Amino acid sequence: MNAIVFLIQCSDQKGLLAGITGFFSQREYNILHCQQYTDVLEGQYFMRVKLEDAGQLDQVELEQQFKRYADSLGLNWSVRYSAQPYRVALLVTKASHCPYDLLLRELEGELSCDIPLIIGNHTDLEKMAKQFDKPFYHLPITKNTKPQQEAQIKALLAEYQIDLVVMARYMQILSEQFVEEFSGRVINIHHGFLPAFQGAKPYHQAYDRGVKIIGATSHYATADLDEGPIIEQDIQRVKHDNSPEDLVMIGKDIERLVLARAVKAHIEHRIIISGRRTVVFSEGG
């Protein structure tokens, strides 16, 4: 069954639920799932509504009619159609655990998306790409060649019509221009429980501080390193006798799960970015 998912954000006002659901009901859409959230501190309203797509209106007409309605109420909105799966590009370096996990989930149908290419700044994961029958593009980078390398990445993203870029332990900092151009469409996994322990070696920082909990964070990439809106986090208790290497190994399992959950939420159109925060609607619809 094909579905249509609308995400809606606006200033809170009376009658929004009745009005929006009424709009779809009047056009004979069956509402499969509806979630809403009101941020009373900021006076903002958020909604996710999933409709059965039985061909009542074509996409252009539906969006034109909803735009007229939305404009009258000041709604910010976006829409996705399940018949058009997300196309996801993986950026990788040397660590295989996160990209391998995403590729396996795509293969087994746990992620309803297409991963048509993998881009790496080293060749270490080319064998992994071949194992999953994915084209691998080796685009090495130095301090002096970064603009040219990112231009090559952008060209590939355009060629493959990519909707979402996943930094699957891609150990490079994307330029401000890149993340602004792809704002809200680049997901990163940080091997630390942000906002604590930013930077390249968070597990070693955690060991030095003797923490009893470590974690991982998936967030949207922004110009400010490790400061983007957080999508998903998880933690694991550790002990005083765990070495930094132990923490790295424990952390790998957390990273896999956290990144997969974040990507799944994005491709299921369950996330609204609101300033530095995100509203992530629950699974089930």
Q: CA-to-CA distance for 146 and 122, rounded, in angstroms?
A: 14
- H runs (alpha helix) in 4-140: 16-26, 59-73, 97-107, 126-131
**Tally of CB atoms within 10 A around 174:** 23
Fill in the amino acid letter for 54: A
Catalytic residue among 133, 163, 226, 253: 226
Q: Residue 174 carries which DSSP code?
A: P
**Terminal alpha carbon distance of the chain:** 13
Q: Which amino acid is at 200?
A: A
Measured distance CA(133)–CA(102) in Å, rounded: 14
**C-alpha–C-alpha distance, residues 73 and 65, integer Å:** 13
Tell which residue, 269, 274, 273, 272, has the closest CA to residue 285. 269
Q: d(Cα 191, Cα 263) in Å, to the nearest integer?
A: 16
Amino acid letter, 149: Q
Active site residue 226: yes
Q: Nearest-CA neighbor of 230 among 267, 268, 190?
A: 190
Backbone phi, psi, residue 45, to 5°: -115, 135
Residues in the chain, total: 285
CB 137 within 8 A of CB 117: yes
Question: Angle of helix 16-26 relative to helix 59-73, nearest 10 degrees?
Answer: 150
Tokens 């309605």 locate to 69
Catalytic residues: 226
